[in-house]
Amino acid sequence: MKLLTTANTKIKKGESFGYYSNGIHLAPAKLSGYNTCQFASIGCAAACLNTAGMGVYSNVQQSRINKTKYFFNDKQDFLLKLYKEIQSAVKKAKKNDMIPCFRFNLTSDIPWENVLFQGKNMMQHFPDVVFYDYTKNVKRMIEFVNGNFPKNYHLTFSRSESNESHTDLIMSMGGNVAVVFRKKLPATYKNKVVVDGDTNDLRFLDPSNCVVGLVDKGKAKKDDTGFVVNPE
């Protein structure tokens, strides 16, 4: 099976900005029998985009489950395959005069900085390549904001209905926070400028100390948990 994908609609938007984006779709939460989203809230789980796009097909869901089991059951083999796929993607990007970038947590929240292959994480293996992710893990985000992360790995914190205090903490530290809004984006949120996160998925290009606004989509349109924020 192929680990990396370019078929995700959101990451594909990066092509018009000169970026060749690749990502990994693992099965979210405990769908595979392994928990890939330790800090998922009820609202987050209900609004998950796992079933959006190609995710509506049972064979795609099974593929994501298979990849997740592969990761947990044969991690070093998984990482060897991932390493080779990254090499290939980087070469393809350069051949097409594009900039390669990678998002490993398209539908998961795994701390990839701690996943080692031959003594290094993937960011250390490819120091000239950009990696990025969203996370609800406040400890990871604090480490990132404090500069204790690989320099080429960018994180954006994801707000949910159950992590408001953590969201406020990250915002006070100057970290970027992603917030899902109902139908439209406000100009500001909690006195922070809101940028349009739906234009592309290239979060490492966002200005610092901002809110990444995302308009509710799919199942999120029916959210009543507080995961989706009503703009003022």
Instruction: Give the tens place of pLDDT for each residue, 218-232.
Output: 888 898 999 999 997
Tell me the average pLDDT of the chain: 94
**CB atoms closer than 10 angstroms to residue 34:** 17
Rounded CA-CA distance 39/108 in Å is 10
8 Å CB contact between 178 and 159: yes
pLDDT tens by residue, 29-88: 888 999 999 998 877 777 765 655 655 557 888 999 999 999 999 999 999 999 999 999
pLDDT of residue 67: 97
Residue 144 CB contacts under 8 Å (≥ 6 apart), including other chains: 153, 154, 155, 175
Rounded CA-CA distance 150/147 in Å is 8
pLDDT of residue 134: 97
Whole-structure pTM value: 0.94
pLDDT of residue 57: 59
pLDDT of residue 60: 81
The distance of Cα 53 from the centroid of its chain, to the nearest Å, equals 16
Handedness of CA 174, 195, 51, 160 (dihedral sign): positive
pLDDT tens by residue, 120-133: 999 999 999 999 99
Pairing, β 99-103 against β 4-5: unpaired
pLDDT tens by residue, 147-197: 999 999 999 999 999 999 999 999 999 999 999 999 999 999 999 999 999
pLDDT tier at 112 (50, 70, 90 boundaries)?
Answer: very high
pLDDT of residue 56: 57
pLDDT of residue 40: 85
pLDDT of residue 178: 98
**Cα separation values, 51 from 38, 54, 151, 191, 217, Å:** 19, 7, 32, 34, 12
Residues facing residue 22 across a β-bridge = 102
